Amino acid sequence: MSTPEIHVGLDIGTTKVCVVVTAFDPAKKLIEVLGTGTAECDGLKRGVVTNINKTADAIKSAIDKAEQQSGYKLARVVIGVSGEHVSTFTTRGIVTTRTSEIAEDDVRRLHDELSQVHVTPDRRILHVIAQDYIIDGQDGISDPLGMSGRRLEANALVVTASAAAVENVYKCAERAGLHVDAVVLQSIASSFAVLDDAEREVGVALVDIGGGTTDLAIYKENVLRSVSVIGLAGQRVTDDIVTVLGIRNSDAEQIKVDHGHAISDSILRDEHFQVPGVGGRRPTELSKTILCQVIEPRMEEIFEFVLQRIHDSGLAHQLAAGIVITGGCSDLRGADMLAQRTFRLPVNKGLPRGFSHDGLAREVTTPAHATAVGLALYSIEHEGEFDEEHRGAVVSSAPMVSRPVVSQPVAIAEPPPQKRGLLQNVKDWFENL
């Protein structure tokens, strides 16, 4: 009986930290979810670490919860990174084959050549992804292995990020007592969890709407063709609710989750709900329709930004599988309906998959867990590429001593007391749109 390998995905988001622990059985090729943990986090802004201590504390809290649930002491993780500092460019590599038939060693040397591309000291290469291969001048080749030729070339997409932003992510994990096996672009990680080969083959755009950023990844012919990060996401929707209703951020987030709709067509019953008062004020009532009028313009703006990036990529007419939306904000009621109206393409909601449905699978089968699950799946697929020095030191399977997990408090700034009524705030907000 083979010993399962433990793989951990750590999603450090703008509003929360999410950890997913998986066990991979190499003999049965079976993946099982062992544990998960989340913690509120306000140490990032639009995907970039702004407070290392707060972020490290949130990571510790989420890791503690995942350890208690899984029964393993976690030491190694794969982390996602996002932010408007992420950028791409294309490059080309060339090698001469050692024989007249292209072998794995030739392809490996070509990939090594592509990875040596020069970037400035303030940038760090995250991924180098071959787009197509050229053999003795013949282009459009997707798999060169076994083909005849003496000159092998490839065009590649290079994904880079701010070196300082990546280094700060490493520091946060290290302060939480973790070793980082790899840093992965979040949209690539999410695609591991929610896309299948058929979608990647015919053409699909993945839109991951998180708290601080909206990540776009476009696939065609099973190859990642374009990535983009937009600094506008779910937290901005919450900010609008805070501004209009004059309430705390935590209350606004809860109202968004419990009563929010991205489009009025998804409201079946226009019920009223209570809006908590601030500074001793009495609670007031608001309808779902009025709340939707606050949320819908911002969600529409997010989707319009995404649509513009899709058009900029030149791949808008090659998305036969349409759009897949995922991430926590995609769970907003009617988000898929609004997306379909904006993109005029088929839209599906992306749920994590690729693992056994036993154990804790149901807990992580939500859009909010897509990135963390994808990071764990990425770890499984790329295990052989990680640092040899740390391999085999993932976890200790000894029973853990139970200890309480204390979530780190999140500092929430209350808005100043306002004398005007709630409906007047709503009216003024619409007038200023």
Domains of the chain, by residue range, sit at 87-159, 198-350+414-433
Q: How far is CA 315 from CA 77, 191, 242, in A?
A: 34, 17, 37
Read off the pTM: 0.86
Class of domain 87-159 as given by CATH = alpha beta
Q: How far is CA 247 from CA 73, 238, 288, 296, in A?
A: 40, 10, 16, 19
Q: How far is CA 78 from CA 226, 300, 380, in A?
A: 22, 33, 10
16, two tokens = 């929360």
In tens digits, what is the pLDDT along the chain, a chain of 433 residues? 467 899 999 999 989 999 999 999 988 889 999 999 999 998 899 889 999 999 999 999 999 999 999 999 999 999 999 999 999 999 999 999 988 899 999 999 999 999 999 999 999 999 999 999 999 999 989 899 999 999 999 999 999 999 999 999 999 999 999 999 999 999 999 999 999 999 999 999 999 999 999 999 999 999 999 999 999 999 999 999 999 999 999 999 999 999 999 999 999 999 999 999 888 789 999 999 999 999 999 999 999 999 999 999 999 999 999 999 999 999 999 999 999 999 999 999 999 998 887 778 888 999 999 999 999 999 999 987 776 433 333 332 233 433 333 333 333 333 334 445 555 655 565 565 5
Which one-letter DSSP state was computed for residue 4?
P
CATH code reported for the domain at 198-350+414-433: 3.30.420.40
